Structure 1
Amino acid sequence: MNSLERFLSDFGDYGDKTALIWNEQNYSYTWLLDRIKYWSNILADEGIEKSIVGFRGDYSPEIIALFFALIQLKNILVPLGGSNKEEQKRYFDIADVHYILSIADRERLVIEDLKTSVGNAVLTEFMQRQSPGIVLFSSGSTGTPKGMLHDCERLLSKYVRGKKALTTLAFLALDHIGGINTLLYQLSNGGTTVTNDDRRPETICRLIESYQIELLPVSPTFLNLLLMSEAYKEYDLSSLKIISYGTEVMPESTLLALANAFPGVRLKQTYGLSELGILSSKSESSDSKWVSLGGEDYQVKIVDNVLWIKTNSAMVGYLNAPSPFDDQGWMNTGDVVERKGDYVKILGRQSEIIVVGGLKVFPQEVEDVLVQMPEIEEVTVFGEPNVITGNVVVAVVKPLDRSIDERKMRKLIQSYCKQRLQSYKIPVKVYFNKSEHHNHRYKKIRSKVMQKL
């Protein structure tokens, strides 16, 4: 019995238990198992097997059933999530996508045949195994997105029943390793997952109240927007037991404000990479950014203050970049950390450090200060070359009040920072950008913010 067969056999045991809640309707494990069989038959009739298949759609029950059906027929999946058409075109080219699927009204499968031939060496070698795979893409937060090929057999083998599953809201989408981790963990343990394609703070709070959600896995960007909206004050969120956060560095001020707003909820930092999956983690406390990492299949080490990780469940490889693994299987994550016993604190990406006159500045520490200003909704900080100091700190601000006087706002920012930051960390330039600084995954995208200047 392969990993998928073992995984799906548990669905029969869970039977009429609610697997998914979507648009105020419950879907049982029996229903999900039947729909996987249905879509497997449809795909087989259309000859869509052992191919590279992109699919559009988020967490609807039909898309989830289609997800497993594609694996069952040994396809390589390319989930497209909420990416825009320009991004999707780049994904098609990188992953040699042959078919694009979507589900129209009345459960009609729409198939677009791109008639693509496979030219990528990594994909060609993997397809010779006749094993199912999945391609995920980096967010492109620092440049061109990387395509990462995972072996589905290896990925599914990590999820074994027997662990406790809380009623969970699926926030991170199926095109994100965190979203896949949430779904597979929940389904393997017979849990209930609430899915929705509207991720506004008000909607999330309403769902928590309506379905007594116990676990909320989200990003720091979303949590900051939640606090600013104050939507959590309008709903009964007493069912919440855990708020887990990852995908980017959590601002200290946001974490402390969150701990104050949700005193009875455990705040848990998670850590993972699309290349490696999600590690087991344990936060020192709800208001602490110190976290212990590792366990199960993961080994962790720190070299020159940079985190390295090794795991047997790592991706097969990049489709459009050199392998990031050394000859012993270790990967340099690029994350700079501090260490305290068994705990680490993640400071930021090594590649994003701004060197000003020989002194290092992490963008996140400046953002942490600026985001505390009530006039600012979102802020992105980066470095800009300077002939005297090498670099200067630059901030791009999305003001809460769109009609604010920009000149007055710049002076306010300078004054605020002078009281809280060393002089070389204070933004020399401040730009204003009224569009969102995050993508559909609610993750800050520095490269796109910089490109809009």
Structure 2
Amino acid sequence: MAASGQVPLRDGRSSKVALSLGDPAKVILGLIALDGIASRILLLSPGMVSSEFDGLISEFDPDLIVTDNKALQSEGAVVTLWSEEIASVAERRSAPRPRICSTQWVFATSGTTGRPKLVEHSFASLSRATRPSKPGVETVRWGQLYEITRFAGIQVMLQGLAGGGALLLPNRISSLSAQLRLLAEWRCTALSATPTLWRKILLTGDRPKLDLRQITLGGEIADDAVLTALKREFTDARITHVYASTEAGAALAVHDGRAGFPESYLRNPPSGIVIKINDARLYVHNHDVTGKYLGSGQSFRDEDGFVDTGDIVEQRGDRIFFRGRSNGAINVGGNKLFPEEIERILLEQPTVSEARIFSRPSPITGQLVVGEIVPADPASDHKALAAELLNLCRSRLPRWQVPATLRVVAEIRSNAAGKIERSSL
């Protein structure tokens, strides 16, 4: 391990640095200190399990790992502890300065349905959805509920800082209610989260009043139920659901308060980012992303610059709706089922606050559809509620799509990216 404060780097055109820092403020300072000096910067989640960490480090093969974890060890790379000296480098570099190289920022995918993969982005790709604050308008104070090492977390960081606003960083180790209390105390006016996390926010009984002017949803399908609930709770807020992915980058934003997006976006994208649909799959144009997973070299962008998002969509009237992830479909006797479509039916019911559909192995059908729900009223008759919801599913779904069981639980587990944990726990 290198001595504290020393940041040994080779020529910037060849140096690769991994940041594994528990404090999001240190991540920001580390990015400022290294951008334009290191050729690649990998952002690692501090809560990552050791097997995932070791796998990503092996693929990235860094020259240097900067960490605030004294116990971290790694073969083949210099490990240096964070120090105030590194922070001072960031402060000195906050003014315009010459760049040795064009740094690629590297992110791990969320790994919702498989092992995380590494994706490279240029700063141009990361900031293409960042909008500067309007002159004379009160400073927008963005709360950060995402891990800052995630693609979504960096989007919030850039909107808060590069967009001319303010960025509020509550301690993510704290409970959600504690984080919300801090954001209220710090006068947060803009907040971004996954639909899953927004449902948890709405369920937080002792949450303080947040005077939000901007609400953003991303990372999962935003259905009408959660959009309606947010409009009812935050009457003065503009509600936007965005589509972005680690591979494709930021793609589109919808402001009309309805699920899906207008079909006209395919012809006239309001943000200038071209999208298309081919064989029911959504593609996003992005020439600023490398287009191959780092390490494996597997391509995810075609020769015309379109990234296959893996999201399955369908058109109904003048609207495009998301059905689910192609790699998240459940195979039931040769038929494909998207969990989100059953979850949407359950979440339309006022008796349900959260829902998760997943699968268990079945020797007969291959996979067995099962589900969990969180009741809106914890004191309700759980057995009767589950039976009622199963009857609802039978009335609206083909037999093979109906869950074999629905279990009432206190909470639906989410992963580090704030999305529903899809694996059968």
Residue among 139, 145, 157 paired with 1:183: 157
The alpha carbon displacement at 1:114 in A equals 3.2
Q: Return the alpha-carbon distance in structure 2 between the equivalents of residues 72 and 220 of structure 1.
A: 35
Alignment of 1:229 onto 2:194? no
**1:93 corresponds to:** 58
Alpha-carbon displacement from aligned partner over 1:19-49 (angstroms, at most 9, x marks no partner): xxxxxxxxxxxxxxxxxxxxxx9555x3476
Query: Cα–Cα, structure 1 residues 208 and 402, in superposed 2: closer, same or farther, change >3 Å?
Result: closer
* 3-state SS of paired residue (1:272): strand
Residue among 410, 419, 425 paired with 1:443: 419
**1:149 corresponds to:** 120
Alignment of 1:279 onto 2:251? yes
**Equivalent runs, 1:277-316 vs 2, <5 Å:** 277-283=249-255, 285-290=256-261, 292=265, 294-296=269-271, 298-316=273-291
The alpha carbon displacement at 1:357 in A equals 6.7
Alignment of 1:114 onto 2:75? yes
Query: Cα–Cα, structure 1 residues 377 and 366, in superposed 2: closer, same or farther, change >3 Å?
Result: same
**1:169 corresponds to:** 143
Query: Cα–Cα, structure 1 residues 301 and 154, in superposed 2: closer, same or farther, change >3 Å?
Result: closer
Report if the CA contact (8 A) 1:335-1:346 is conserved. yes
Alpha-carbon displacement from aligned partner over 1:45-86 (angstroms, at most 9, x marks no partner): x34764222222355433311121122322421111243232
Alpha-carbon displacement from aligned partner over 1:260-289 (angstroms, at most 9, x marks no partner): 222222211101111121124233x22444
> What stretches of structure 1 of length at least 5 have no aligned partner?
1-40, 118-128
Q: Return the alpha-carbon distance in structure 2 between the equivalents of residues 263 and 160 of structure 1.
A: 23
Report if the CA contact (8 A) 2:45-2:149 is conserved. yes
Report if the CA contact (8 A) 2:353-2:374 is conserved. yes
Alignment of 1:193 onto 2:167? yes
Of the structure 1 ranges 432-441 and 84-93, higher mean CA displacement relative to structure 2 is found in 432-441
Query: Cα–Cα, structure 1 residues 227 and 266, in superposed 2: closer, same or farther, change >3 Å?
Result: same
**1:140 corresponds to:** 111
Of the structure 1 ranges 136-145 and 295-304, higher mean CA displacement relative to structure 2 is found in 295-304
The alpha carbon displacement at 1:307 in A equals 1.1
Report if the CA contact (8 A) 1:43-1:49 is conserved. no
Counterpart amino acid of residue 171 in structure 2: D
The alpha carbon displacement at 1:194 in A equals 0.6
Q: Return the alpha-carbon distance in structure 2 between the equivalents of residues 263 and 88 of structure 1.
A: 42
Of the structure 1 ranges 60-69 and 149-158, higher mean CA displacement relative to structure 2 is found in 149-158
Alignment of 1:255 onto 2:227? yes
**1:210 corresponds to:** 185
Report if the CA contact (8 A) 1:168-1:192 is conserved. yes
Of the structure 1 ranges 75-84 and 406-415, higher mean CA displacement relative to structure 2 is found in 406-415
**2:94 corresponds to:** none
**Equivalent runs, 1:388-403 vs 2, <5 Å:** 392-396=368-372
Q: Return the alpha-carbon distance in structure 2 between the equivalents of residues 375 and 153 of structure 1.
A: 45
Report if the CA contact (8 A) 1:49-1:70 is conserved. no
Residue among 325, 330, 336 paired with 2:306: 330
The alpha carbon displacement at 1:168 in A equals 0.8
* 3-state SS of paired residue (1:370): helix
Alignment of 1:76 onto 2:40? yes
* 3-state SS of paired residue (1:115): coil
Q: State the number of aligned residues.
A: 389
Q: Return the alpha-carbon distance in structure 2 between the equivalents of residues 287 and 158 of structure 1.
A: 21
The alpha carbon displacement at 1:389 in A equals 6.2
The alpha carbon displacement at 1:328 in A equals 1.6
Of the structure 1 ranges 58-67 and 340-349, higher mean CA displacement relative to structure 2 is found in 340-349
**1:30 corresponds to:** none
The alpha carbon displacement at 1:236 in A equals 2.7
Query: Cα–Cα, structure 1 residues 415 and 82, in superposed 2: closer, same or farther, change >3 Å?
Result: farther
Counterpart amino acid of residue 271 in structure 1: Y
The alpha carbon displacement at 1:148 in A equals 1.0
Q: Quote the sequence identity (%).
A: 24
Query: Cα–Cα, structure 1 residues 376 and 96, in superposed 2: closer, same or farther, change >3 Å?
Result: farther
The alpha carbon displacement at 1:409 in A equals 6.8
Report if the CA contact (8 A) 2:282-2:311 is conserved. yes
> What stretches of structure 2 of length at least 5 have no aligned partner?
79-99
Query: Cα–Cα, structure 1 residues 209 and 406, in superposed 2: closer, same or farther, change >3 Å?
Result: closer
Alignment of 1:265 onto 2:237? yes
* 3-state SS of paired residue (1:244): strand
Query: Cα–Cα, structure 1 residues 433 and 80, in superposed 2: closer, same or farther, change >3 Å?
Result: farther
* 3-state SS of paired residue (1:72): coil
* 3-state SS of paired residue (1:344): strand
The alpha carbon displacement at 1:203 in A equals 2.7
Report if the CA contact (8 A) 2:343-2:355 is conserved. yes
Calculate the aligned-residue CA RMSD, in Å.
Answer: 3.8
Query: Cα–Cα, structure 1 residues 91 and 402, in superposed 2: closer, same or farther, change >3 Å?
Result: farther
Q: Return the alpha-carbon distance in structure 2 between the equivalents of residues 204 and 228 of structure 1.
A: 14
Query: Cα–Cα, structure 1 residues 162 and 115, in superposed 2: closer, same or farther, change >3 Å?
Result: same
Q: Return the alpha-carbon distance in structure 2 between the equivalents of residues 371 and 158 of structure 1.
A: 30
Alpha-carbon displacement from aligned partner over 1:377-405 (angstroms, at most 9, x marks no partner): 65332355767767653224567999999
Q: Which has the higher helix share?
A: 1
**2:340 corresponds to:** 364
The alpha carbon displacement at 1:364 in A equals 0.7
Alignment TM-score, normalising by the size of structure 2: 0.77
Q: Return the alpha-carbon distance in structure 2 between the equivalents of residues 420 and 212 of structure 1.
A: 44
